[in-house]
Amino acid sequence: MTSASRALAVAARLRELGIVVALALVVLVTTLLAPAFLHLDNLSQILLSVSLVAIVAAGETIVVLTRNVDLSVGSMVGLVAFVTGDLLKQHAVGLPEAILAGCLLGLALGGLNGLIVTVGRVPAIVATLGTLNVYRGLDFFVAGGKEVSAYDLPRSYLGIATSTAAGIPALIIAAAVIAAVVAFVLRSTRPGRALYAIGSNPPAAETVGIPSQRLVFAAFAASGLLCGAAGVLWGSRFGTVNAFAANGLELEVIAAVVVGGVNIFGGSGTVFGAMLGAVLLGTIDNALTLLRLSQFWLQAIDGAVILLAVGADASIRGAVQRALRVRGRR
Amino acid sequence: MSDTPLLELRSISKRFAGVRALREVDLDLAEGEVHALVGENGAGKSTLVKILAGVHQPDEGEIRLRGEPLVLTGAAAARDRGIAVMHQHPNLFPDLDVAENVFAGRLPVARFGRVDWRRARSAAAALFARLGQPLDVTAPVRGLSVADQQLVEVAKALSLDARVLVMDEPTAALSGREVDRLFATVRQLREHGVAVLFVNHRLEEVFALADRVTVLRDGRHVVTAPIARLTPAETIRHMVGRQLDSLYPKQPAKAGEPALEVAGLTRAGVFRDVSFTVRRGEIVALAGLVGAGRTEVARALFGIDRTDAGEVRVGGRPVHIASPGDAMRAGLAYVPEDRHDQGLVLDFSIAANVSLPVLARLSRLLGVVDRGAERILAGDFAERLQIRATGVDQPAVGLSGGNQQKVVLAKWLATRPAVLILDEPTRGIDIGAKAEVHRIMSGLAAGGMAILLISSELPEVLGMADRVIVLHEGLVAASLTREEATQEGIMTAATGQASA
């Protein structure tokens, strides 16, 4: 149709291509400087460390698409990780029950976020900033200064993270499956499309009869559920869980989502993009560690990548809007 | 046209906070007719549209669809009964593609709840084909022109099997070619038996498209007639004919030096080549219909929006205004139309509101505001403008509309401007407060201030203005002196009927 809209469609596709190109650049430069980077072990290590962030980022994507944000993800993961580990340590329940309990706890925490935002009409950024602290406080209360260490945990639990299928670590498979399911729901189901509609134009969503409140609630609940899953896997992967587990994870997660091209104002973006964002940031972290750069550079470069990504989005949008205004009336 | 009306409105009345927006209005729509609804700004067209959209419920009267009484409790109810409303600014999802916008909330699904994109796209494409306007259904809506976005709204209405389509000022943002295309689409709908209510104030378009026309004035039904029985001139006479009351006393003042000279001001796509002069002691009105570009000219003059060409002189000196700060330094003050969004900080006291633009002048060492001087300044204005409040410490939020407006005025007068731009200064305030605002304006002009007045109320324009600049679609359509200006004359120019 119009050249502007076609340009936009191309730009949206280029957005994900852009991340792939950035990723390729990082890989190329790092490989030249530190050939060890390309070893299969190292690449697998990158994906392993990214996989937990990726699972949480998939849930965050759902929330951000609706023009909301969930800042409490790190606290939810931490609380679930500790509670799951503690249940197993006390031999209170078997492994399947513990996993189920962890996921349900996440679902409940996310559901509470959803209630505060929809029924309580508290802006998501404030509501989840509150629950970020409340859930972490709860974590401290439950943990009481103790920690769960690998000695306390059953082998079967620790084995989840180290098991492989066809040579691929289970964590990576879990992240990929979760991303695929979320992608399917968002791309190809009515409720999924309604989430985009809500984020794109909230009043218009109401007028076409989309149950916005219920869906926003569901988005927060889904984010909680995925944090539950990530929390369960957290203990399995790291073995040791204290009240600081996953502290600050929300920043990594939101960074991945934003770098992945999910519009922070809702309505556009894909899980695939968010996954690419997580992989890009994880790869940069790994590369900088290999190159023995200080932690300072790590944070500064992560920050620069975010600004670059968001700046690129804004300038593309701005250019299209300007083109439209001049064309608007003759 | 068949004999049974598809949709009937019987004796519809609606009031808002004591203001009667509609009084016993009758209207009927037949299948396969294009029915134009015309009237001045504030005649009640928008209220009528909102009642049909289910946004407002009438206080009195009845809506009947095929003879059955109909209660529209919300947007969904109107849609379910086959009434679709197309607003001037399409209400779509910019991030989603065309097909998805057409079927938003009711996308076709196949097995396992999977959205059937192929069916959605082919169904959408079929709708556009039916309208004779093929559109790429996979394009995101954000990049579409307003005309194409409206087409999406029409397709949406068709897909809902709407029998009544209300189009609220659909051509306001369209170019000539796009208007022709829209008309072709509307004629297609008429062929399909859809009743179209075409709300518009461009008379040439009304006469080109409509089968019948209904005129509203001051919330009342004036006339409904087949288009062949009316001429544009007669229609304008029906639209105006408003009572001129003697509430508007602009005392004659000697026009002095030019205070504001505007030459060739242009903002691409919004207004073009706008030129006028306001002298000291003069009130010049910018008249025109909603969307003609009046507020846009004011915003550009005040540096809120960028201009693409033109020259502005204040007090004879050329000025370059790129921001509201520049404008204030040049001696301009702008009282915007929406005093809640743009004019007042409601939680602040009267004194804090008034001092806001002049804090630098009231500040002592290290920028500490002199609260005493602030209260003296505010108290002075409260007295001069007769602001009724418990004191200058009262928060603005508790004041009446008229007194809030006076606080906004005081705030800008505190900057001691040479030129005061007032955008709809009396909208939404009661008749007594209105008269006071007019008295204040007259007094300011007598004191040598140059005032640019934007008003949609013709009696106010005729009562207050020394000269009237009429805008039509971003161009100056007429420039009339106080003696030349009449309601008919202004409306003729504003509706694009003036040959000048």
Confirm if A179 and A54 have CB atoms less than 8 A apart.
yes
| B258 and B182 together in one domain | no
pTM: 0.79
CATH code of residue B77: 3.40.50.300
Q: Is the pLDDT of residue A83 over 90?
A: yes
Across B470-498, average pLDDT: 87
Q: Answer yes or no: is B339 within a domain.
A: no
Q: Do residues B252 and B322 share a domain?
A: yes
What ipTM is given for this predicted complex? 0.85
**Which residue, of B239, B265, B285, is where some domain finishes?**
B239
CA distance A164 to B178: 61
- Interface mutation vs chain A, best among B55, B142, B296, most A CBs within 10 Å: B142
pLDDT of residue A328: 42
User: Does the structure show a pLDDT above 70 at A18?
Assistant: yes
pLDDT in tens, B159-179: 988 999 999 888 877 777 888
What is residue A8's predicted lDDT score, i.e. its pLDDT? 61
Domain limits, chain A: 3-328
Flag whether B336 is in a domain: no
User: Could you tell me if residue B133 is inside a domain?
Assistant: yes
Q: Is A269 helix (H, G, I), strand (E, B) or coil?
A: coil
Greater confidence (B343 vs A271) lies with A271
**Alpha-carbon span A20 to A14, nearest angstrom:** 10
Average pLDDT over chain A reads: 89
Fill in the amino acid letter for A103: C
* B398 and B475 both lie in a single domain: no
Q: How confident is the model at residue A1 (pLDDT cuts 50, 70, 90)?
A: very low
Tell me, yes or no, whether B382 and B251 share the same domain: no
Q: Do A257 and A266 meet the contact criterion of CB atoms below 8 Å apart? A: no
> Looking at B385, B414, B443, which one is the last position of a domain?
B414
Banded pLDDT at B250 (limits 50, 70, 90):
confident
A205 interfacial to chain B (CB closer than 8 Å): yes
B76 and B212 housed in the same domain: yes
Q: Which of B366, B385, B367 is nearest to B377 (CA)?
A: B385
B230 and B255 part of one domain: no
Structure confidence by residue, pLDDT tens digits, A176-198: 999 999 999 999 999 999 999 99
Query: What pLDDT, on the 0 to 100 scale, is given for residue A11?
Result: 64
DSSP bridge partners of B314: B260, B317
B340 or A48, which is more confident: A48
Does B262 or A326 have the greater pLDDT score? Answer: B262
Interchain CB distance below 8 Å, A2 and B91: no
Domain count, chain B: 3
* pLDDT at position A308 over 80: yes
- Residues of chain B contacting residue A327, judged by C-beta atoms under 8 Å apart: 145, 269
**Which segment of A73-77, A323-327, B140-144, B281-285 scores lowest on mean pLDDT?**
A323-327
Domain boundary residue among B384, B414, B444? Answer: B414
Q: What is d(CA B136, CA A304) in angstroms, rounded to the nearest whole number?
A: 37
Contacts of A7 in chain B (CB under 8 A): 143
Which is it for the CA torsion A86, A91, A93, A96, positive or negative? positive
Question: Mind spelling out the 3-state secondary structure of A224-239?
Answer: HHHHHHHHHHHHHHHC
Expressed as residue numbers, the domain containing B390 is 347-414
Q: Is residue B2 part of a domain?
A: no
Asked whether residue B148 carries a pLDDT value surpassing 50, the answer given is yes
Distance from CA of A307 to the nearest CA of B (A): 22
pLDDT of residue A3: 58
Q: Which pLDDT does position B77 carry in this prediction?
A: 84
- Interface A-B: count of C-beta contacts within 8 A: 120
Is B133 in the same domain as B191?
yes
B49 and B167, same domain (yes or no): yes
Q: How far apart are CA B354 and CA B351, in angstroms?
A: 5
8 Å CB contact of A193 and B100: yes
Is B342 a domain residue?
no
B308 touches chain A (CB under 8 A): no
| Percent of chain B residues topping a pLDDT of 90 | 40
Tokens encoding A44: 């697998």
Tell me, yes or no, whether B37 lies in a domain.
Answer: yes
* Closest CB to A201 among B91, B115, B144: B91
Cα–Cα distance measured from residue A99 to residue A84, given in angstroms and rounded to the nearest whole number = 7
User: Do residue B191 and residue B308 come from a single domain?
Assistant: no
CA distance B283 to chain A (A): 31
Q: Which tens digits make up the pLDDT trace of B389-408? A: 888 888 888 787 788 888 88
Q: Which two tokens stand for residue B145?
A: 């022109």
Give me A136's structure tokens: 């972490």
Q: What is the mean pLDDT of residues A130-139?
A: 96
Task: Say yes or no: A204 contacts chain B, CB-CB below 8 A.
Answer: yes
Among A190, A196, A203, select the one facing B96 at the smallest CB separation. A196
B364-390 per-residue burial string, b: 16 or more CB within 10 A, e: under 16: eeeeeeeeeebbebbbebbeebebebe
What residues of B are in contact with residue A330 (Cβ under 8 Å)?
A: 175, 269
Position B498 scores a pLDDT of: 66
Q: CB B93 to CB A268 under 8 A?
A: no
Q: Which residue of B has its CA nearest to A324?
A: B145
Mean pLDDT of the residues in chain B: 87
Same domain, B174 and B228: yes
- For residue B114, give every residue at least 6 positions away whose Cβ sits within 8 Å of its Cβ, in sequence order, or none: A188, A189
Q: Is B1 within a domain?
A: no
Are B271 and B376 members of one domain?
no
pLDDT digits (tens, 9 = 90+) for B204-242: 889 999 999 999 988 899 999 999 999 888 888 888 765
The shortest C-alpha distance from B307 to chain A (Å) reads 12
Lowest mean pLDDT among A6-20, B132-146, B189-203, B461-475: A6-20
What is the tens place of the pLDDT at every residue in A141-166? 999 888 899 999 999 999 998 898 88
Is residue B337 domain-resident?
no
Do B442 and B228 contact (CB within 8 A), yes or no? no
The whole-number average pLDDT for the span A16-37 is 88
For B328-369, write each residue's pLDDT tens digit.
Answer: 999 999 988 876 666 788 888 899 888 888 887 788 777 788
Question: Would you place residue B476 in the very low, low, confident or very high pLDDT band (cuts 50, 70, 90)?
Answer: very high
Q: Which CATH number is A3-328 given?
A: 1.10.3470
Whether residue B401 sits in one domain with residue B357 = yes
pLDDT at A329: 38
Q: How far is CA B446 from CA A28, A228, B450, B461, in A?
A: 76, 73, 9, 17
In Å, what is the CA distance from A271 to each residue of A56, A62, A179, A187, A295?
11, 8, 7, 9, 28
| pLDDT 10s digits, B95-112 | 999 999 999 988 999 988
| Interchain pair A329, B104: CB under 8 A | no
**How confident is residue B1, by pLDDT bands cut at 50, 70 and 90?**
very low
